Amino acid sequence: MAESFYLFSNGDLQRKDNVLRVTTSDGRFKDIKVEMTRDIYAFGEISLNTKCLNYAGQLSIPLHFFNYYGFYTGSFYPKEENVSGKLLIEQVNHYTDEDKRIEIAKEFIEAASYNILRNLRYYNERNRDLESCMSEIKALRRGIARMKDVNELMGVEGSIRRAYYSGWKEIINQEINFEKRVKRPPDNMINTLISFANSLVYVTCLTEIYKTQLHPAVSYLHSAGGRRFSLCLDISEVFKPPIADRLIFSMLNRNMLTEKDFERGSNFCYLKDAGRRRLLQEYDEALERTVQHKGLNKKVSYRHLIRLECYKLIKHLMGDKKYEGFTIWW
């Protein structure tokens, strides 16, 4: 079974015979079993060369890079092997046709906001006072079907998120200073965790999209601009509530992360190395948890749910079956 490999130490990443070898500055090394590797996450300062990248590309292993502060900086995306010209044409057609585009975009928001409500309902049933923000989100969701423009839809999505975040003080047991979402850079513990966990979901979506015939830069909710794989942003909207947000709630409420795990600068906050490692371990475990799939009548992992979402989108684009975004059923 393929696994994600996490690099935390500074050093060199090189091809050595039929493995990728990580060598630290003090001469210690570790060989990555490439046949068992799904993707590689680099958090330390890593030096590598084209020989290494060529080998990773040959083996279809994406590399995801994060800077010293744990902020995602970019990915090495190997040459696509699963290529379909017909699907790419349909992907672009569904982007350029406004009616087709907004139909898909609405599904992303419908599913994401439903999953947000499920998170709130879970904690509301456990004596957290979340009725007001749940009512606000339900009212906003009723307006999704009437939206005629993607920009309007993004505005509704932003309002739903603001209402959702207003309830986090009720959900999280620790004393938190979280008034609004701040991204570049995050300014407190909660914003840092949201940014980091969301970036993990984003690159997981990228790895799963790579295994399909979808092009990661052609999207529907987010604009297909430069310097980003915008389809990952679309799909990650659906999975951030059940994966990233639940992970944050769980770790904070079990005191697995506290203020002492964060370092503050003049205008930013970042997660220290030890806390980052704990979160990554929990994230990996969360992706491998399984649920009984209603349609397939078998257990599937959270990670595989993301792949299945890609396949559902492909069926919609090819005219086989209308796309309906993933919603939590358990």
CATH of domain 85-317: 1.20.120.920
Domain boundaries along the sequence of the chain: 3-76, 85-317
Residue 236 clears pLDDT 90, i.e. is over it: yes
Residue 182 clears pLDDT 90, i.e. is over it: no
Sheet with 63-66: list strands edge to edge.
3-7, 37-42, 63-66, 72-76
| pLDDT band (50, 70, 90) for residue 233 | very high
Which residue type occupies 167?
A: G
Dist. CA 106–CA 153, nearest whole Å: 7
Architecture of domain 3-76: Ribosomal Protein L15; Chain: K; domain 2 (3.100)
The string of DSSP codes covering 117-166 is HHHHHHHHTTT---HHHHHHHHHHHHTGGG--SHHHHHHHHHHHHHHHHH
Q: Say how far residue 97 (Cα) sits from the centre of its chain.
A: 27
Residue 76 clears pLDDT 80, i.e. is over it: yes
Q: What is the pLDDT of residues 16-33, one digit of tens each?
A: 888 899 998 888 999 998
% the chain with pLDDT above 70: 100
pTM of the entire structure?
A: 0.91
Q: What is the pLDDT of residues 119-159, one digit of tens each?
A: 999 999 998 999 999 999 999 999 999 998 999 999 999 99
Dist. CA 323–CA 313, nearest whole Å: 6
pLDDT for residue 139: 96
Bridge partners of 66? 72
- Region 225-245: mean pLDDT is 92
